[in-house]
Amino acid sequence: MKRRRQTPQWLVILIVFIIFAVLKISDGDVFAPSDKGITPNGTQPAEIADADLAVFFIDVGQADSVLVKAKDQAMLIDAGNNGDSELVVEFIKALGIDTLDYVIATHPHEDHIGGMDAVIDEFDIKKIIMPKVEHSTRTFEDMIDAIMKKGLKVTSPVPGTKYPMGDGEFIILAPNSSNYDDVNDYSVVIKFQYKDTAFLFTGDAGFESEHEMIEKGYELKADLLKVGHHGSKYSTSEKFLNAVQPRLAVISVSKDNEYGHPAPETIARLRQAGIEIYRTDEVGTIIATSDGERIELYSLVED
Ligand SMILES: [Zn+2]
């Protein structure tokens, strides 16, 4: 089920940027308001603008779109549903970004690549990473057309490969096989490391991919986990959580979605492990900043 939208979402987000305060939601400072907002020309609150690393979990409803900004470099992981195209493009522009150093299309489901053609058309893209799997949908064809039109070369994810970004780097951890029954398991999984802080982005990877990552012996430890598959019960196994040991979890999900995400079982597993859970259906767009030692969380919500 998609969210009802009376006003174009990009307009809503711009208004949100201008009018509403950025609220700090981590470290016990629940909704302690900051006095500054983000404006479309890229003016951001000092806490976010000065951050060496800022990760934006854009509220795209029942979908995924994460923007990572490290110094003067930027990466987009997924681009929401088709209907989120303008929202995602305007969000990136509002931060004053015109070049995406990396774009990752985790896997070819619409809720991850829906806005990808619009993003590819709009921005200068240095490297696009996507798994070797095709999908016979119009959305997938639109993305491929946009890639061809721009003459971009697609990079296949090779686990273990590291890419520098800002003062940090990210490493590809999955997919580790070339054939899966479930398209979700083709999800490109990456870990972004900046000094002592690490973020794990799992796309919609399920138990099979999680199991492979553990078996391969990758260093999976991360402070913040973007919970796999919108909190579905087929992701985020106890074994995987034990390997990652996150302190913070972010779930990208819409209210009252038809899939019942996030699953009560997954929420229970996260709670059992003592992990703080933040959800886009509850607090909207979530922003995580890191100075290399500490991660702070903020949210763009009505003051
Ligand atoms: Zn998904």
Domain chopping of the chain, boundaries? 9-300
Q: Are strands 102-104 and 128-129 parallel, antiparallel or unpaired?
A: parallel
- Report the half-sphere exposure of 133 (CA within 13 A, side-chain side): 21
Residue 47: per-residue pLDDT = 75
| Residue 112 CA, ligand 1 centroid: distance in Å | 6
Torsions phi, psi for 134 (to 5 deg):
-105, 160
Helix intervals (H) in 95-235: 110-113, 116-122, 138-150, 207-215
Residue with the bigger pLDDT between 23 and 138: it is: 138
* pLDDT interval class at 88 (50, 70, 90): very high
Q: For residue 183, how far is its CA from the centre of ligand 1 (angstroms)?
A: 10
Residue 44 Cα to ligand 1 midpoint, Å, equals 29
What pLDDT does residue 9 have? 57
User: Could you give the C-alpha distances from 166 to 129, 232, 236, in angstroms and in order?
Assistant: 18, 32, 29
Mean per-residue pLDDT of the chain = 88
Q: What is the pLDDT of residue 1?
A: 44
Q: How far is the CA of 33 from the centre of ligand 1 (A)?
A: 31
Determine the distance separating the centroid of ligand 1 and the alpha carbon of 60, expressed in angstroms: 11
Return the CATH number of the domain spanning residue range 9-300.
Answer: 3.60.15.10
Residue type, 5: R
What whole-number distance in Å separates Cα of residue 284 and Cα of residue 61? 9
Q: For 220-239, what is each residue's pLDDT tens digit?
A: 999 999 999 999 999 999 99
- Is the predicted pLDDT of residue 94 greater than 70, yes or no? yes
Q: Is the dihedral of CA 79, 83, 84, 89 positive or negative?
A: positive
Tell me the mean pLDDT in the region 105-109: 98
Å from CA of 35 to ligand 1 middle: 34
Dist. CA 172 → ligand 1 center (Å): 19
Q: What separation in Å is there between the alpha carbon of 46 and the centre of ligand 1?
A: 32
Mean pLDDT in residue range 97-109:
97
Distance CA 161, CA 293 (A): 24
CA of 252 to the centre of ligand 1 (A): 9
Q: How confident is the model at residue 13 (pLDDT cuts 50, 70, 90)?
A: low
Cα–ligand 1 centroid distance for 160 (angstroms): 24
Helix (H/G/I), strand (E/B), else coil: 295: strand
- Measured at the CA of 87, the angle between CA 85 and CA 90, to 5 degrees, comes to 105
Q: Determine the residue type at 50.
A: D
Cα–Cα distance measured from residue 228 to residue 240, given in angstroms and rounded to the nearest whole number: 11
Encoded tokens for 248: 């913070």
Is residue 300 scored above 90 in pLDDT? Answer: no
